[in-house]
Amino acid sequence: MGSQTVSSVLQTGVLNKTAIDQMVKQPWAGDNYSDRIWKNKAQLIASMKSELTSGIIQGKSIYQVANMMDARLQVGRSQTQRLVRTEYMHALNQGQIETYRSNGYTKLRWVATMDDKTSDICRKRNGKEYAIDNLPDIPAHPNCRCTLVPVISQATIDKTAGELRAVLTKK
């Protein structure tokens, strides 16, 4: 693995065509991007119909019903934000996985953001190593903030350090 590989690994945070294709086409957790959008839309429409019907039955004014619906849309917005955040993380992770695979990495390490919001599943996976062809779903759940990083052998580190040293000391 030469200095070109080191450079490409440093650039894996960029949302590239591979990541976008993965986001739109590849199913994960049973659904693809379109499936999740339509499920969210159906839930939002059902919720809005329920709110409107409830307001009419209760004799609420147009303004009261509008306020109730606006409050409901806030929930819809947060659901949409969760969906977009989760899809974005999925795309980024899939793009990184493909970049790692194309650069010859065979093992990846799960890295979780460890704080009071970290889920049990992410806590359990944090630091675990997986074969690149046998990875668990990532993101592991909605709002997942985890990522995968390549596991680099000591031999590769030594070789790359030697290559960098040679470049830096070359006169």
| Beta-sheet strands, E only, within the chain | 107-111, 129-131, 147-150
Q: Which of the two residues, 1 and 52, has the higher pLDDT score? A: 52
User: Hey, where are the domains in the chain?
Assistant: 16-169
Q: Residue 116: its pLDDT value, please?
A: 96
* Residue-averaged pLDDT of the chain: 79
pLDDT of 159 above 80? yes
> How do beta strands 129-131 and 107-111 pair?
antiparallel
Angle, CA of 139, 32 and 88, to the nearest 5°: 45
Torsions phi, psi for 16 (to 5 deg): -105, 180
Where is 50: in which H helix or E strand? helix 33-57
- Rounded Cα distance between 30 and 167, Å, is 48
pLDDT tens for 28-84 read 666 766 666 667 677 777 877 787 778 778 888 776 777 777 676 665 556 667 777
Task: Reply yes or no on whether the pLDDT at 124 is more than 80.
Answer: yes
Give the phi and the psi of residue 160 in degrees, each rounded to 5: -65, -40
Statement: residue 117 has pLDDT above 70: yes
* pLDDT in the model for residue 127: 98
Residue with tokens 């086409």: 25
Residue 163 has pLDDT above 70, yes or no: yes
Taking residues 90-94, what's their average pLDDT?
A: 86
The answer to whether residues 123 and 140 touch, using CB atoms and an 8 Å cutoff, is no
